[in-house]
Amino acid sequence: MNKYVERLYNGLIKENPTMVLMLGMCPTLAVSTRAMNGIGMGLSTTAVLILSNLVISLLRKVIPDEVRLPSYIVIVASLVTVTELLLEAYIPSVYEALGIYIPLIVVNCIILGRAEAFANKNKPLLSVMDGVGMGLGFTVALTLAGLFREVLGNGTAFGFRILPSGVQPIAIFVQPPGAFLVIALFIVIMNAIGIKTRQKKLVEGCDGCCSTCASTCKEAEK
Amino acid sequence: MKALILIMISGALINNVVLNQFLGICSFLGVSKQMKASASLGAAVIFVLTIASAVASLLYDLVLAPLGLDFMKTIVFILVIAALVQIVEMFLKKTSPAVYKALGIFLPLITTNCAVLGVALTNVQNGYNFIECVLSGFGTAVGYTIAIVLLAGIRSRIQETDLPEPLRGAPIVLISAALMSIAFMGFSGLNI
C-alpha cells in the first residue's frame, strides 16, 4: 500500500485515536451530545492537528530536543487560537455549541501525542497525511458517539426527527451520565467482538495521555 | 458572602468538574486505581488549581484585559500553568520534602490536566473577580478530589467481583463513573 494511503487507514481504523488508542477522552465525552457537535469538534481538531503536524515536522531539525514540549505547546496553542477566532467569526453556531472545549483542544492528548510520536520524526507531507488520518478517525468516532446519543436521547439525527412521535426518547443519554455509558458500551462491544483496544492505558497507572506524563510514569514505576 | 459560598458549592458539587463537565478525565480514570494515590493527586490538584486560578485571574485583569490582548489568553494561560507547576515543584522540593514526597510525582501530571486550563478560562468567561476566581478554583478542585476518591473506593470493591470478560477494565470503570454522575445530577436541584 502507498505509504500516504497507509497513514489514512492507520488513523481511521488501525490506530483510531478514540476507539483504539483511547486518547482525547475529555472532548469525546463532553461534546458527543449531538452528531453535529461531534463533526464540528472533530473537524476543528483535525484542522489544528494537520497544521500542527505540518509546522512541527518542518521545524523538527530546528527545535532543540530539551525544549521541544514547550515549543509544541506554543505552536498548538497559537493554532488553536486562530481556529477559535475563525470559528467565532464564520461559524458562530458551532462556536457557541462547543464553548470552552475549543480552547481546550490545546490539551487534547491526540495533538501532542502525534507531534511526539510522528511529526517530529517524519517528513512534512507524510506528517500532514498522518494528521488527516488521525483527525478524520477522531471525527468519525465523535460523530458516531454523537449520533448514537442524539438518536436515543433526543430522538433526532443531525437535527431531524427520526423516532416516531409516540416514542419517548431516553433523556439520560444526552445528559452527562449518558456519555460515560455510551463510551463504556462501545468498548464492551469492541471487546466482545475481539477488537484489541489499548484501554489498559486508560485505567491502569499512567493513562498514556501525553508525552509529558510518560516521563512521569517512568519515575513513578521506579 | 452568599454568592461566594454558592460559587464554591457550585464548583464542587453542582457543576462537578469531572462528572458534569468532563475535564480531567484522563487522570480521573488513570489514577483512581489506588485510594492513596487518588487522595494525594486530589491534594495536589487542590493546591495547584487554587494557585493557578489566582495567578491567571491577576494576569488577565492586570495585563491581558488592559492591553486588549484578550485573544491571547489560551496561549498565556497554558504557559503560565506549565511554568507554575514547575515552580511549585521546585519550591516544595526545597522547603517541605515530606509534602514533595507525597505529591511530587503527581505535579507534572497536572500540567496536562485539562481541568486547570478549563477552570482558568471559565473564570474569565464568567467575569469573576480575584476572590471569586480563587474560590471557584478551590471549589472545583475539591469537587475533583471528591469524585476521584469516591471512584477509587468503588474500584477497590470492583476488583473483588467476578465480571463478564468484555466488561473488565475500562468499561466497568466508565459505568461506575456514569452511576456517580447520575447521583451528582441530584445536586443540580440545589437552589440556595
Domain ranges of chain B: 8-21+33-186
With the CA atoms of B61, B62, B67 and B73 taken in that order, what torsion angle do they form, in degrees rounded to the nearest 10? Answer: -50
pLDDT (0 to 100) of residue B182: 93
A93 reaches B (C-beta below 8 A): no
pLDDT tens for chain A, 222 residues long, are 688 888 888 888 888 888 887 788 888 899 999 999 999 999 999 999 999 999 999 999 999 888 888 888 899 999 999 999 999 999 999 999 998 899 999 888 888 888 888 898 899 999 999 999 999 999 999 999 999 999 999 888 888 888 888 888 898 999 999 999 999 998 888 888 877 776 666 665 444 444 444 444 444 443
Q: Which of A57, A13, A40, A179 is nearest to A105 (CA)?
A: A40
What is the CA angle B52-B28-B110, rounded to 5? 30
The answer to whether the Cβ–Cβ distance between B111 and A212 falls below 8 Å is yes
Distance, CA of A209 to chain centre: 12
Gap from B54 CA to chain A (nearest CA, Å): 19
For residues B56 and B50, give the distance between their C-alpha atoms in angstroms, rounded to a whole number.
10
pLDDT (0 to 100) of residue A201: 62
B71 or A219, higher pLDDT:
B71
pLDDT (0 to 100) of residue A210: 45
The answer to whether the Cβ–Cβ distance between B185 and A206 falls below 8 Å is no
Residues near A33 by beta carbon (within 8 Å), at least 6 away in sequence: A146, A149, A150, A153, A174, A179
Whether residue B101 contacts residue B9, with contact meaning beta carbons closer than 8 Å, is answered with no
Q: Which helix (H) or strand (E) holds B8?
A: helix B2-9
DSSP letter string over A1-20? --HHHHHHHIIIIIT-TTTT
Res. B32 pLDDT band, cuts 50 70 90: confident
ipTM of predicted assembly, 2 dp: 0.87
Gap from A25 CA to chain B (nearest CA, Å): 7
Residue entry with cell 510518560: A214
Mean pLDDT of chain B: 87
Q: Which of A222, A220, A146, A200 is nearest to A21 (CA)?
A: A200
Domain positions in chain A are 3-221
Residues 97-126 of A with CB under 8 A from B: 100, 103-104, 106-107, 109, 112
B10 or A83, higher pLDDT:
A83
Res. B181 pLDDT band, cuts 50 70 90: very high
